[in-house]
Amino acid sequence: MTLLFLPTLIVAAVAVWLGARLLARRRQQGVRAHSRPGQFGTLALIWTVVPAVAVLIASAVVTPALEQGLIASGAPEAVAELEPLRRNAFFADARAVADGQPAARIWEPPYAELMPAEGARVARIAGRLDLAGVALAALAALAGALFAFSRIRPEMRARNRVEAWIVGLLFACSAVAVLTTLGIIASLVFDSLRFFASVPITEFLFGTQWSPQTAIRADQVGSSGAFGALPLFAGTFLIMLIAMTVAAPVGLFAAIYLSEYAGPVFRATVKPVLEVLAGVPTVVYGFFAALTVGPAFREFFNGVGASLAGGPLDGLGQYLMLVQNQMALVAGAVMGIMLIPFVSSLSDDIINAVPQSLRDGSYAMGATKSETVTRVLLPAALPGVAGAMLLAMSRAIGETMIVTMAAGLAARLTLNPLDTVTTVTVQIVTLLTGDQEFDSPKTLAAFGLGLTLFLVTLALNVIAQRIVHTYRQQYD
């Protein structure tokens, strides 16, 4: 019904717009009017659509509770005695049966017989409520339109009113950004609080044992999960460190070369290539890390191990021979490559922001280009570069696909790059993609991890943006 009403409303709105335009044109004849007929039309349109939509939204909010009350009040005794959850399931199934679909579960005799009649009743109530909502909305639209038509006068300032509505609408658009942030915080905090109610926050932050496999049934063996996230933080940190070891020097040197040495042609060819590298989806990097880099690294280390085994470094050799595909080094190195364009484009901007006079001064003193870069440009750009690195770190910490596909699941407290480690993001994906019941600590733990991740990356971003901002102002 509502779906039928919406096209009708659109048609009505167009009609109102045309009508109000015509009416305004007629009433304006021979008079100096403030606004153009079209603006009257738009105002009338707003007066028609806004009340109707408001009524529709209100009815969508109110109807479910009302519907439940009405359904429950007229229910036969056998159904009314059911516990609320089962009762709702019964009504949902009754409705499905009335619609000619199979019920979701099997109901025993007293209920099975009641089903068709109840289904018809439920459908009738829902239909009437729907109709009532639509009728109210139509009334509101009609009233609004009539009101608008009655107000059309040549001296009325329709344009100002329409424009106030438009600005309000634009403001609402930009408020969505703030609402998104609030939504993120609310959803993370709400579920995290429930998680911290069952797992103390200190245990979560400082515990060294991570095994979130809680039992699905209460009597299952090994039902107590451990939620010490320290190994995850260590793994995240280790991979971030490896990634930065690759990305920071390579990205920085690439930026220096591009901004100080490269000619315009070289720049024009290399920059798009770096952009392509930045545009490759992370799932592709993950695929590459898991199926190409991982096996290659494993073969290399196993080979080195085989040649060392039996020699003076036998222990190391034995260890290297057992290295697996999924090691921190693989995920870290590939992530580092992924971050190169990010670091280099940020650093490029920052180095370019250093005033030319500093360069000229240095050259005038007889310094070579490299001396100018290392002794003048980099010290001058240091805060900006540090900010860029912090932003890259935040990217590395929040990166998900590469680590999910290439780092592994074993939560170990280690700083050995050849070990399998796991990260915060990997665990969020793992916890939320398996079989889950929504209220178990296992799924809630993902929100705890998400909150931690959000706060850490937010802190890094805020600090970095502040540093870069101050740095830029210094040279403006």
Within residues 253-282, the interface with another protein by CB under 8 A covers 253-254, 256-258, 260-261, 270, 273-274, 276-277, 279-282
Under 8 Å between Cβ of 343 and 352: no
In this chain, which of 10, 78, 139, 167 binds another protein, going by CB under 8 A?
167
Closest to another protein by CB, 98 or 373: 373
For 107, phi then psi, to 5°, come to -110, 140
Check residue 405 for interaction with another protein (CB under 8 A): yes
Interacting residue with another protein among 330, 450, 467, 471 (CB under 8 A): 450
Which of positions 215-234 make contact with another protein (CB under 8 A)?
Answer: none
Query: What is d(CA 440, CA 215) in angstroms, rounded to the nearest whole number?
Result: 9
Distance of alpha carbon 81 from alpha carbon 251, whole angstroms? 69
C-beta of 149 vs 165, nearer to another protein: 165
What is d(CA 190, CA 448) in angstroms, rounded to the nearest whole number? 10
Contacts of 322 (CB under 8 A, 6+ apart): 305
Single out the residue of 18, 139, 166, 322 in contact with another protein (rule: CB under 8 A). Answer: 166
Closest distance between another protein and the C-beta of residue 184, in Å? 5
Q: Which of residues 51 and 336 has its CB atom nearest to another protein in the complex? A: 336
Taking the complex as a whole, the smallest distance from the CB of residue 118 to another protein amounts, in Å, to 22
Residue 347: name the closest of 398, 395, 394, 386 by CA: 386
DSSP 8-state class, residue 427 = H
Q: Which is nearer to another protein, 118 or 348 (CB)?
A: 348
Which of residues 2, 101, 180, 416 is near another protein by CB under 8 A?
180
From the centroid of its chain, how far is CA 130? Answer: 34
Query: What token pair was written down for 296?
Result: 């290659």
**Applying CB under 8 A, does 41 fall inside the site for another protein?**
no
Q: Determine contact, residues 342/278, Cβ cutoff 8 Å.
A: yes
Q: Are 149 and 23 in contact (CB under 8 A)?
A: yes
Q: Does residue 169 belong to the site contacting another protein (CB under 8 A)?
A: yes
Tell me the C-alpha distance between 305 and 408, whole Å: 22
Read off the amino acid at residue 135. A
Q: Hey, which residues between 281 and 320 contact another protein (CB under 8 A)?
A: 281-288, 290-292
188 makes contact with another protein (CB under 8 A) = yes
Other Cβ atoms closer than 10 A to 357 = 8
Q: How far is the CB of 161 from another protein (least distance, A)?
A: 11
Is 352 an interacting residue with respect to another protein (CB under 8 A)? Answer: no
**406-435: which residues touch another protein (CB under 8 A)?**
425, 428-429, 432-433
Which parts of 73-132 interact with another protein (CB under 8 A)? none
SS3 59: helix
H or E element: which one contains 226? strand 226-227
Nearer to another protein, 160 or 223 (CB): 160
Nearer to another protein, 286 or 317 (CB): 286
CA-to-CA distance for 426 and 328, rounded, in angstroms? 13
Structure tokens at 169: 């609408």
Query: Residues 98, 381, 391, 421: which binds another protein (CB under 8 A)?
Result: 391
Q: Does 374 bind another protein (CB under 8 A)?
A: yes
**Nearest-approach distance from CB 314 to another protein, in angstroms:** 29
14 vs 166, which CB is nearer to another protein?
A: 166
